[in-house]
Structure 1
Amino acid sequence: MPTALITGITGQDGSYLSELLLEKGYTVHGLVRRSSNTARVRLDSLFADKSTYEERLFLHYAELDDATTIRRILIRCQADEVYHLAGQSHVGASFDIPETTCQFTAMGTLKLLEILRDLEKRPRLVHISSSEVFGRPDHSLQNERTPMRPVTPYGIAKAFATQMVSLYRESFDLFACNAICYNHESPRRGESFVTRKITRAAAAIASGSTEKLKLGSLDSTRDWGYAPEYVEGMWRMLQQPTADDYILATGTSHSIEEFLNAAFECVDLNWRDHVVQDARYMRPSEVSQLVGDAHKARSILGWTPQTQLNELAHLMVNADLLRISSL
């Protein structure tokens, strides 16, 4: 039975990845930050399963900059695979907390690589990178050879981490991959992300709320996919005979306005009646033309995204409607 360690296990991707690995027979260890709030809502269904929690799923307290504790956990659990998802992952927030973003997203990754380099049993590693490393590329449809030109603190931190993973693979013979993921959403997406703000608002307004939804630019475009499909791609990277970097993306670009349309159509509303633009949500520097070419992942990993934008928006709105009705 293989053993995996997941950093950022309580996040959107971490929760879906935990379920996937447990279904495949893994023992799963996860790193969580210690806080006064012990709620781990994305993992609730796993906690409730007595045959899983503390039997095949184990949580450990550790901060990304606590190298001693992470080393101790890795030695104890003898992981075969490490999925590095943790870090400050909100692009907008990275302008407000650039030092924290770099400390955890950039330096946290380097510290993990140093730990893995020294282990007697070296696990395979996949680092979850981001399309933000490309910033404002010269061409739409980026591939693994596209130059990195980040324009946000988060993108800069991710570019550092991504290049360090490649360096350690080439210099120290680590089995280390970068999953360069474009935006991927789900009903478990954090409430501060724009897609979830939209679907929560659509569900709330359909349920009687009169509060307006405040957004920044509606012209910004993204390559949006479905998170459970992306964690499948992450897993497939570590099953290959050699380590490499792969882009995970749909290859299709949509604007925030298009996502608004899809979400509010789900509840038979016109978003224009309920949305106002607010300058506070405009980013100082915005990426552009970020659309991924996942040809390499399709040909080598056999990975192909299936969920289209309208279906994704409907999945998220319906989940938020269900949450409201259960309160």
Structure 2
Amino acid sequence: MSKKALIIGITGQDGAYLAKHLLSKGYEVTGSSRDVMASLFNNLNTLGIRDQVNLISVSINDFRSVFNAIQVYDPDEIYNLAGQTSVGLSFDQPVEAIESIAIGTLNILEVIRLLNKPVRFYNAGSSECFGDTGNLPANENTPFAPRSPYAVAKSTAKWLINSYRESYGIYACTGILFNHESPLRPERFVTQKIIAGAAKIKAGQLEVLQLGNLDISRDWGWAPEYVDAMWLMMQQDKSDDFVIATGRMESLKYFAAKAFEYFDLDWQAHVEIESSFFRPNEILCSIGDPSKAIKMLNWKHPTDIDGVIEMMCEAQAKKYLN
């Protein structure tokens, strides 16, 4: 019998890559969005797997909706990738951030507890929980110092996971993922905005790209490798939390320069700094230490930031220059 997986929040970058990864391992995959009838599932279509996934509607804020989905589809593994995904948006919609991330996670944990089934649960954490790491890579023992409603919600979800794991023996784990990108990122993410902007400028469709603070530095990885880490966490004898990162940090200015360089452009000639894009409480430095995941999960991340930029640029070049 093949394993059954439920991916709550399958429409995003990680959900699509995770679905593809699980299908390649013989899983029966069910994926949810808030409203199946209204969702386009572009990422699943791009990866050519939409017809291989059972798609359902689940509102993670609604306990009954979560309960029905888990009871009916009876998964062996649940991956929660749903909830608000934008740090910037969380400052404008803090209540939605808390409800969709913290309350949503609590709903899943309560359903697992009440149904008392041997289901394994992965919850998507975030490097934003650490706040500003400086030049010292954060590991699983680094204290949280969240600076946004999004990060507060992710921190709350992580401690709920720990509480239910210790109190009820539930197999539940948190992947504390640092930034990870791919061609599936929408342009509201700054990395894709930069690369798509450079491609459009090269194609003559845009003259100037407006960006915010380019002095921030991040630890950027390749999304398909990060979803492999999610799956590996769920295959261990004992559930635990893991930092997933590359251990290399570069500035957004570096990212922009490399992206424009791919298109034979000078970024400084085409980029304007727009102060309205600055966040109320910006994290300047964020870098992670993946040593535990490399040692205990045998996780590998062969793609560095330069490879990430190149592959994302290749995808945008096909879109705008061919």
TM-score range, shorter chain: over 0.9
Deviating more after overlay: 174-183 vs 134-143? 134-143
Q: Secondary structure at the match of 2:272?
A: strand
Letter matched to residue 229 of structure 1: E
Match of 2:181 in 1: 185
Residue 138 of structure 1 deviates from its aligned partner by 6.7
Letter matched to residue 276 of structure 1: E
Q: Secondary structure at the match of 2:44?
A: helix
Q: Secondary structure at the match of 1:154?
A: helix
Q: Distance in 1 between matches of 2:116 and 2:136?
A: 43
Match of 1:133 in 2: 129
Match of 1:38 in 2: 39
Q: Distance in 1 between matches of 2:16 and 2:83?
A: 15
Residue 136 of structure 1 deviates from its aligned partner by 2.6
1:145-164 alignment, distance < 5 Å: 145-164=141-160
Is 1:118 aligned to residue 96 of structure 2?
A: no
Match of 1:285 in 2: 281
Match of 1:84 in 2: 80
Is 1:215 aligned to residue 231 of structure 2?
A: no
Deviating more after overlay: 203-212 vs 137-146? 137-146
Q: Distance in 2 between matches of 1:45 and 1:294?
A: 30
Is 1:306 aligned to residue 302 of structure 2?
A: yes
The partner residue of 2:290 within 291, 294, 305 is 294
Is 1:232 aligned to residue 228 of structure 2?
A: yes
Structure 2 alignment gaps of length 5 or more: none
Q: Secondary structure at the match of 2:243?
A: strand
Structure 1 alignment gaps of length 5 or more: none
For the 8 Å contact 1:203–1:318, the answer to whether it is kept is no
Q: Distance in 1 between matches of 2:200 and 2:16?
A: 25
Q: Distance in 2 between matches of 1:172 and 1:139?
A: 37
Q: Distance in 1 between matches of 2:135 and 2:164?
A: 29
- The alignment covers a number of residue pairs equal to 321
Q: Distance in 2 between matches of 1:239 and 1:39?
A: 31
Letter matched to residue 32 of structure 2: L
Letter matched to residue 26 of structure 1: Y
Deviations 1:149-189 (A, max 9, x none): 10111111100001111111111100000100000000001
Match of 1:58 in 2: 54
> TM-score if structure 1 supplies the norm length?
0.95
Q: Distance in 2 between matches of 1:209 and 1:194?
A: 19
Q: Distance in 2 between matches of 1:71 and 1:36?
A: 20
For the 8 Å contact 2:36–2:57, the answer to whether it is kept is no
Letter matched to residue 240 of structure 1: Q
Q: 1:256 to 1:146 in 2, by over 3 A?
A: same
For the 8 Å contact 2:81–2:124, the answer to whether it is kept is yes
Residue 294 of structure 1 deviates from its aligned partner by 0.5
Is 1:171 aligned to residue 167 of structure 2?
A: yes
Q: Distance in 1 between matches of 2:184 and 2:54?
A: 21
Deviations 1:272-295 (A, max 9, x none): 011000011001101233210110
The partner residue of 1:195 within 188, 191, 194 is 191
> TM-score if structure 2 supplies the norm length?
0.96
Deviating more after overlay: 225-234 vs 106-115? 106-115
For the 8 Å contact 2:130–2:142, the answer to whether it is kept is yes
Q: Where in structure 1 do 4 or more consecutive aligned residues deviate above 3 Å?
A: 35-38
Deviating more after overlay: 127-136 vs 302-311? 302-311
Residue 305 of structure 1 deviates from its aligned partner by 1.1
Match of 1:3 in 2: 4
Q: Secondary structure at the match of 1:65?
A: coil
Q: Distance in 2 between matches of 1:45 and 1:188?
A: 8
Letter matched to residue 264 of structure 1: F
Match of 1:16 in 2: 17
User: What's the RMSD between the two structures over aligned residues?
Assistant: 1.5
Deviations 1:111-145 (A, max 9, x none): 11111111132310111100000113476111101
Match of 2:257 in 1: 261
Identity among equivalent positions (%) equals 41
Deviating more after overlay: 116-125 vs 317-326? 317-326
